[in-house]
């Protein structure tokens, strides 16, 4: 296998960026189909708004970033010169970000809020960093966080009376102090798996997400190290909290946290983003450990009920440090395994003993 010298996503096998992006779009089909089935035209409109704006603004700014030739006199010649290097990757990449971003929105989120988030994500988070392969933050996650922070009030009440089960999302109910037996009565595990719960359009059906994830893993478009490290870290830490807080129902507590919220969707379609993930194999294990730990910490001790987007964006900041050439390597050595285990043990002690004073 030979490394191809290019901007990220970096590829160590004979695949193209176009194929990877198309694979992600195919993997998103079950999630998108379920969201349309569940939310109807509300989902279709928000997906289309996100697609049109992200693809359109990327194309516009791409042209603005290109220089014309001195021989280009007419407007047509200048336009042709500016887009001579515009490829299918400049369509598929923003299309992936657009669909993922739309899936992170509630079905009743005002359309102009979706538009603002999409424009911010593609213009500020991606194109200002140089465009395809230049962004350090996950585009969709950053757009989601921008909307939730800048337009916080719009999230309040958007779920009420909208979904099959009216009320707050399962994770919000957990964060607000509802006891586990009552939670399991209001939001049974089977409903969490099948998507019969309130939530954003893409996070509610675990079955649809897992189908997409399986496809990405089979096609080797998603690196299994990122998936295994993030998921195993989350499960270990959340199990420790469950054993501490709900010793008689710890397994139900783990399942509840696993299938509610955006954890599975984030792992399948955002953590595995090849642009913002580390390049090396050890780096990807460490990256997953960091994200899984941050999600548990935010959900347990933070102000937010979710934590996936925030944890991912925080971890994105450490990727240049993880990939720093002075110490980065593609070999997994004993000292790395020891360090990985030590970090996991420390995080386990923090959440286990910290959970004793936390009302969940």
Handedness of CA 40, 44, 49, 54 (dihedral sign): positive
Residue 68 or residue 321, greater confidence: 321
The string of pLDDT tens digits covering residues 204-214 is 889 999 999 99
Instruction: Identify the residue whose tokens are 């299938």.
Output: 259
Asked if pLDDT for residue 129 goes beyond 90, the answer is no
Look at residues 192, 140, 100 and name the one whose alpha carbon lies nearest to residue 309. 140
Residue 232 or residue 177, greater confidence: 232
pLDDT at 358: 47
* Mean pLDDT, range 346-358, rounded to an integer: 81
* Mean pLDDT, range 104-123, rounded to an integer: 92
The CA distances from residue 233 to 58, 241, 277, 304, 345, in Å, are 36, 13, 17, 19, 10
The residues, ordered by sequence, that sit 6+ positions from 194 with a Cβ below 8 Å of its Cβ are 205, 206, 207
The residues, ordered by sequence, that sit 6+ positions from 138 with a Cβ below 8 Å of its Cβ are 270, 273, 275, 276, 312, 313, 316
The CA-CA-CA angle for residues 217, 221, 226, to 5°, reads: 65
pLDDT at 25: 95
Percent residues over pLDDT 70 in the chain: 88
Q: Are 276 and 244 in contact (CB under 8 A)?
A: no
Task: Give the predicted TM-score (pTM) of the model.
Answer: 0.87
Asked if pLDDT for residue 179 goes beyond 90, the answer is no
pLDDT at 180: 79
Instruction: Identify the residue whose tokens are 């004793």.
Output: 356
The residues, ordered by sequence, that sit 6+ positions from 178 with a Cβ below 8 Å of its Cβ are 186
pLDDT at 218: 94
pLDDT at 154: 60
pLDDT at 235: 96
Residue 190 CB-density burial (10 A; 0-12 exposed, 13-18 middle, 19+ buried): exposed
Asked if pLDDT for residue 53 goes beyond 60, the answer is yes
The residues, ordered by sequence, that sit 6+ positions from 146 with a Cβ below 8 Å of its Cβ are 116, 117, 120, 121
What are all long-range contacts of 154-160, with beta carbons under 8 Å and residues at least 24 apart?
Answer: 154/109, 154/110, 154/113, 155/106, 155/109, 158/106, 158/108, 158/109, 159/106, 159/108, 159/198, 159/199
Residue 152 pLDDT grade (very low, low, confident, very high; cuts 50, 70, 90): low
Residue 48 or residue 79, greater confidence: 48
Asked if pLDDT for residue 269 goes beyond 60, the answer is yes
pLDDT at 165: 33
pLDDT at 160: 39
Q: Which of 69-73, 117-121, 162-166, 195-199 has the largest mean confidence?
A: 117-121
Asked if pLDDT for residue 200 goes beyond 70, the answer is yes
Cis peptide preceding 32, ω within 30 of 0: no
Mean pLDDT of the chain: 84
pLDDT at 356: 66
């Amino acid at each position: 296998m030979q490394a191809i010298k290019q901007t990220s996503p970096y590829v160590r096998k004979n695949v193209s960026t176009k194929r990877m992006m198309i694979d992600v779009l195919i993997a998103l089909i079950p999630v998108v189909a379920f969201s349309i089935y569940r939310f109807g035209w509300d989902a279709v409109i928000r997906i289309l708004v996100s697609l049109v704006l992200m693809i359109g603004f990327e194309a516009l700014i791409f042209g603005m970033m290109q220089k014309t030739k001195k021989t280009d006199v007419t407007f047509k010649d200048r336009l042709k010169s500016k887009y001579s290097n515009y490829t299918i990757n400049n369509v598929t990449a923003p299309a992936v970000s657009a669909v993922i971003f739309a899936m992170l929105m509630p079905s009743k989120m005002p359309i102009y809020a979706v538009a603002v988030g999409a424009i911010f994500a593609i213009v500020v988070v991606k194109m200002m960093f140089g465009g395809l392969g230049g962004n350090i933050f996950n585009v969709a996650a950053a757009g989601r966080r921008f909307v939730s922070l800048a337009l916080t009030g719009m999230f309040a009440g958007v779920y009420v009376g909208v979904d099959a089960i009216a009320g707050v999302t399962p994770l919000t109910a957990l964060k607000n102090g509802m006891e586990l037996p009552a939670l399991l009565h209001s939001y049974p595990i089977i409903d969490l798996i099948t998507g019969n719960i309130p939530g954003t359009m893409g996070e509610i059906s675990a079955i649809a997400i897992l189908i997409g994830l399986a496809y990405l893993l089979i096609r080797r478009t998603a690196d299994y190290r990122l998936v295994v490290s993030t998921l195993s870290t989350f499960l270990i830490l959340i199990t420790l909290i469950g054993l501490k807080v709900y010793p008689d129902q710890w397994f139900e507590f783990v399942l509840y946290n696993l299938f509610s919220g955006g954890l599975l969707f984030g792992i399948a379609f955002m953590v595995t983003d090849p642009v913002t993930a580390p390049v090396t194999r050890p780096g990807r294990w460490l990256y997953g450990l960091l994200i899984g730990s941050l999600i548990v910490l935010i959900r347990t001790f933070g102000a937010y009920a979710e934590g996936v987007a925030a944890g991912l964006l925080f971890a994105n900041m450490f990727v240049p440090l993880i990939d720093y050439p002075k110490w980065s390597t593609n070999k997994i050595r004993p000292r790395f395994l020891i360090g990985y285990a030590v970090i996991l043990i420390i995080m386990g002690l923090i959440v286990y003993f910290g959970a004793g004073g936390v009302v969940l």
